[in-house]
Structure 1
Amino acid sequence: MNFGYVFPWDIVGDPAAPERLAATGVDAIALAVSYHSTRAATPFHPAHRVLEVSHSAFYLPVRRSAFGALVPRNLSWTAPDAFIQARDALRAAGLPVHAWTVLTHNSLLGDAHPGLTVRNAFGDMYPHALCPAHEDVVEYCARLVAEVAELGEPDGIILEACGPMGVTHQSVHDKTPAADWDPTQAALLSLCFCTACVRKYPDTLRARVRAAVDAPAPDSSLEGVLGELAGPVREARLNLTATLLHSVTAATNLSIRLHASADPWATGSFSPLTDSTSGRGLGGVVALCWGSDEEATANVAQLVEPGRRLGAYTTILPPKAVCPESLGRTFRALGEAGADELHVYHLGLASPGRLAALAGALKG
């Protein structure tokens, strides 16, 4: 099965959108139901070309009584029931709809509840990053998925950011690249020291992390920097993801696919997948495949497991060439590496030429 990813506003107000998407050859749509702030191009929409999505939002009616301390926000840039309207239009065109659900990436709730967000070893808050070490965050995610299943009635659910977020993948204009943090420093800055997390760590961890961020050892890995502390810290963080995933999958009987990473230290949209998390009610996992074909196929190969469906999250957006033959080679390579599904980002953001290239690649 091949999934095309879209936003609700790509469909609502554009009667031609469902048939246009079906014509690309995708088998199903991953339709955003809970998503963070963004600035989106809408190349086909009759009413606009650029949409400013100013905050994280829920694209179903918000029932305050269904939530606890954390409550998602509705929106002003499209209809309050945009998911339902888009779902029905897509199904009428013969496309099943899976609810693309972002969990812990939510700057609106992070700003409103700073005590529930990730904080690095220097005490800096990441408002885009809700920390799943807090019971209120886990409860919010589980209730959100339950509402998606009940109100949205999708054919399945695709989870993004089902675990800790980190220093990257934020929600504002980023001005950090000139600090030249290498991957190890970025990983250290992604370790959370909020009030809930710090109780799970050895007392000496914060000082070691701060020192390593400012004076990194040449060519040192995260495990090398943390030394004997690496094992306990890694297990504490993996347990957060496992607990969150268990709560979320228990909230619905629908098939769930998880955006996942084989890296036990992963933060961001793709959650760490280990033996403690891989068997928890998942209908499949999806690997990040946005880099070169070599990088993408390596990510797929790391998540191959007999009997488990595996998707490849690939893109048709820049820097990908507008070329069906090139896309076709990438798609075939991902399948040969072990992917059962393509998850294609993003059919609503793509130009007419890119959609045509996708259609050619899938047909080929």
Structure 2
Amino acid sequence: MRAGAFLYPWDVDGDPAAPDRLADLGLAQVTLASAYHSTRALTPRHPRHRIVTAAHAATLYPPDPARWRDRVLAPYPAGDWAPGDSYARAAEALADTGLAVHSWVVLAHNSRLGADRPETSVVNAYGDRYPWAPCVGQDAVRALLVDLAAEAAVRPGAAGTELESCGWYGLAHLHAHDKTAGVPLDDTAQYLMSLCFCPSCREGYGGHGADPDELAAAVRAALEPVWRGAPASALGRGTADAALAWRLAAARALQEEAVAAVRAAAPAGFRVLLHADPVPHRCGANVGTDPAHILSVADGVVTPAPAVAPFAAHAHARTVLAANLPVVTGMGGSPHTLPEDAKRAAAEGATELRLYHAGLASDADLDAVREALTSLR
């Protein structure tokens, strides 16, 4: 199977040896970040640094002033962690080795936006804001993300894009020095803690037949057992259906508009994939989707390897189903089982592999990846 790996521009920019080292792994593609959230990243082989601190969500290229002039909400340019057009320099160096370059665009994950414009953030049923999570139910937020998708995806030399966080973000996020694990939250509790009650979402719930005050009270009541160490209670069926209907409608609107905007800006043959989860209510980098719907909108998905099968059931002849496999041992990945994991993913319907993450991996991890990809040819 065609294999690609995720990469940051700072893994390549300023390191003349990086492109050949990556090409030598046996990759066909690199998915290179063009718009990314705040992070602190290790660069174990770079000649000039070992740690890169990206202080806030930013474009890793200069955003177009004409596009964003007079806009209330606009993307932030990067600081010294990605000076100038760091993306373009890295992409050009990678392309010179024959590697295909696709852009990697993170959308609804932006702590700087939440700090500067708190009204754009998700608000939970207790009234707490999540500054890292822009509310995709707001028209202004959706307009920002759609235009960012088009600009950050269609960079010079990119043959396609992968849109991450193109939907709802919620509670689950390693935010600064995170201290939220004291009470375990299962999938239901995570969802309830991620429901948004900003003015736009309150109106959205009302439009689907749920009183937002009653819904918020029901969510708090359902969560009350969690704080005592028991599982969350279920919402009433009608209430739960109304809440999910609004969230699915808002997420679908963003996904459809973002993909359309990218295609309108892109050359023919440009591939648009979404990082996705097959469970519609899920939040996060792999946003919850209805597999049948999302595969009617995008060219395919990037999804954790165990989640491939639900998408495969709705795949078309040219659908891309990229199984995401972690290969950084220190982050819980398993490069040594890559051949078996890849074969298992293929049996479930995967057509491609994505390896997370070539820049963060140790030399030993990369050696194991090289051996694995050689064995899979």
Q: TM-score scaled to structure 2, two decimals?
A: 0.89
**Where in structure 2 are the equivalents of 1:122-161 lying within 5 Å?**
122-161=126-165
Question: RMSD of aligned C-alpha atoms?
Answer: 1.8
2:89 corresponds to 1:81: no
Instruction: Give 1:31's aligned residue.
Output: 32
Instruction: Give 2:287's aligned residue.
Output: 271
- Larger helix percent: 2
2:251 corresponds to 1:241: yes
2:77 corresponds to 1:71: no
CA separation of 1:264 and 1:281: change in aligned 2, threshold 3 A: closer
Match of 1:320, as an amino acid? G
2:313 corresponds to 1:300: no
Instruction: Give 1:292's aligned residue.
Output: none
Answer yes or no: is the 8 Å Cα contact 1:246–1:280 preserved in 2.
Answer: no
CA separation of 1:354 and 1:281: change in aligned 2, threshold 3 A: same
Deviations 1:12-52 (A, max 9, x none): 00011111011111100000001111111101100111111
Once the two structures are TM-superposed, the CA of residue 188 in structure 1 deviates from its matched residue by 0.6
Instruction: Give 1:215's aligned residue.
Output: 225
Quote the Cα distance in structure 2 between the aligned partners of 1:81 and 1:108.
21
Once the two structures are TM-superposed, the CA of residue 219 in structure 1 deviates from its matched residue by 7.9
Deviations 1:45-72 (A, max 9, x none): 0011111111111011122331222211
Quote the Cα distance in structure 1 between the aligned partners of 2:150 and 2:136.
17
2:361 corresponds to 1:350: yes
SS at match of 1:207: helix
Partner of residue 178 from structure 1, selected from 162, 178, 182: 182
Matched residues, percent identical? 35
Quote the Cα distance in structure 2 between the aligned partners of 1:106 and 1:60.
17
Answer yes or no: is the 8 Å Cα contact 2:326–2:335 preserved in 1.
Answer: no
Match of 1:28, as an amino acid? Q
Quote the Cα distance in structure 2 between the aligned partners of 1:277 and 1:35.
26
SS at match of 1:65: helix
Quote the Cα distance in structure 1 between the aligned partners of 2:220 and 2:274.
32
Answer yes or no: is the 8 Å Cα contact 1:120–1:192 preserved in 2.
Answer: yes
Quote the Cα distance in structure 1 between the aligned partners of 2:28 and 2:165.
24
Instruction: Give 1:330's aligned residue.
Output: 341
CA separation of 1:280 and 1:148: change in aligned 2, threshold 3 A: farther
SS at match of 1:250: helix
SS at match of 2:220: helix
Match of 2:272, as an amino acid? I
SS at match of 2:63: coil
With 228-237 and 143-152 compared, the bigger mean Cα shift is at: 143-152
Q: What are structure 2's unaligned runs of at least 5 residues?
A: 264-269
Deviations 1:58-97 (A, max 9, x none): 0111223312222111222232201100110000010111
CA separation of 1:124 and 1:221: change in aligned 2, threshold 3 A: closer
2:197 corresponds to 1:188: no
Instruction: Give 1:116's aligned residue.
Output: 120
Once the two structures are TM-superposed, the CA of residue 221 in structure 1 deviates from its matched residue by 7.1
Once the two structures are TM-superposed, the CA of residue 212 in structure 1 deviates from its matched residue by 1.4
Q: What are structure 1's unaligned runs of at least 5 residues?
A: 290-295
Quote the Cα distance in structure 1 between the aligned partners of 2:54 and 2:196.
28
Quote the Cα distance in structure 2 between the aligned partners of 1:152 and 1:242.
28
Quote the Cα distance in structure 2 between the aligned partners of 1:314 and 1:239.
30
Quote the Cα distance in structure 2 between the aligned partners of 1:205 and 1:152.
46
Quote the Cα distance in structure 2 between the aligned partners of 1:161 and 1:79.
24
Quote the Cα distance in structure 2 between the aligned partners of 1:270 and 1:322.
21
Matched length: 353
Once the two structures are TM-superposed, the CA of residue 105 in structure 1 deviates from its matched residue by 0.5
Q: TM-score scaled to structure 1, two decimals?
A: 0.92
